[in-house]
Structure 1
C-alpha cells in the first residue's frame, strides 16, 4: 500500500468513496471536492493498493481553533500557514475496514501536521467513534456546535 497526496484527477474516486462512507446529508459533493482539491490538494492523503483508492483523509488548515460547518463548504477559508490541521473526513472502503487502513493514514496526517509546525489536528466525530480517535491522542472537548448533516458531533483535538 502507498500513501500520496491528491490531484484533481482523483476527484471522481474521492467523491465515490465519500458517497460509500457517509449518508448523503453528511457527504461532501463532487463540487465540494473540486473546490477543496483546487485549494489544498496537499491536505488530501490517499491510501492506495495497486493503484486503487482504499482510504483517504482530507481537511483544510486554519488559525481558527474550532472546526466550523462553513469550513466544509468554503475552501477559500484554507490558510496554508494556519496553526491547525482540520480533518473533514476519514473514509475507508466498507470492504476494507477494520484492517488498519484509516489508522495508517491518521498516523501519517498527524506526522505531516507535526512536521509542518502545526499546533495540532482537529476533527468532529459521532459519539461511537470518540474512543477510536482517543487512541491517536485526540481529546474529546464535548458536544460540538456543528449541525452538519443534522446529527450530533463531538469536537476532538490533538495538541502537539
Structure 2
C-alpha cells in the first residue's frame, strides 16, 4: 500500500470513495472536494492499492478549537498556520475494511500534526466509533452542539498534542 497527499487529479477517485463510504446526507460532493483540494490538498492522506484509491483521511487546519458544520462547506477557512488539525472524513472502501488501513492514515495525520507543532486534532464521530478513535488517544468531549451535519448527533473528539 502506498500513502501520499492529494492532487486535483485525485478528485474523481476521492468523490467516488466518499460516496461509497457515507450516506448521501453526510457525504461531501465532488464540488466540495474540488474546493477542498484547491485550498488544502496537502491535508488529504490517500492510500492506494496499486493505482486504486482505497482509503483516505482529510481535514483542514484552523485556530478554531471546535469542529463546526460551516467548516465542511467553506474550504477557504483553512489556515495553514492554525493550531488545530480538523479531521472531516475517514474513508475506507468496504472491501478493504478491517485491515488497519484507516488507522495507518489516522496515524499519518497525527504524525503530520506533531511535525507541524499543532496543538492537536479534532474530529466528530457517531457513538459507535468513540472507542475506535479513543485507541489513538482522542478524548470524547460529548455530543457536539456545533455540528449536526447530515442530521446526525456527532461526538466531538480531541487529541491534545501540546
TM-score bracket for this pair, using the shorter chain length: over 0.9
Equivalent runs, 1:10-25 vs 2, <5 Å: 10-25=10-25
Deviation per residue, 1:25-74 (Å, 9 max, x gap): 00000010000000000000001111111100000100000000000000
- Gap regions ≥5 residues in structure 2: none
Question: C-alpha separation between the residues in 1 aligned to 2:112 and 2:76?
Answer: 22
Q: Residue 114 of structure 1: CA displacement?
A: 0.5
Question: C-alpha separation between the residues in 2 aligned to 1:2 and 1:84?
Answer: 26
Aligned to 1:62: 62
Question: C-alpha separation between the residues in 2 aligned to 1:36 and 1:70?
Answer: 13
Aligned to 1:149: 150
Deviation per residue, 1:95-144 (Å, 9 max, x gap): 00011000011111100110011011000000000000000000000001
Aligned to 2:29: 29
Point out 4+ residue stretches in structure 1 off by more than 2 angstroms. Answer: none
Aligned to 2:159: 158
Q: Count how many residue pairs are aligned between Structure 1 and Structure 2.
A: 160
Per the alignment, in what secondary structure is the counterpart of residue 114 of structure 1?
helix
Aligned to 1:93: 93
Using the size of structure 1 for normalisation, the TM-score is 0.99
Using the size of structure 2 for normalisation, the TM-score is 0.98
- Gap regions ≥5 residues in structure 1: none
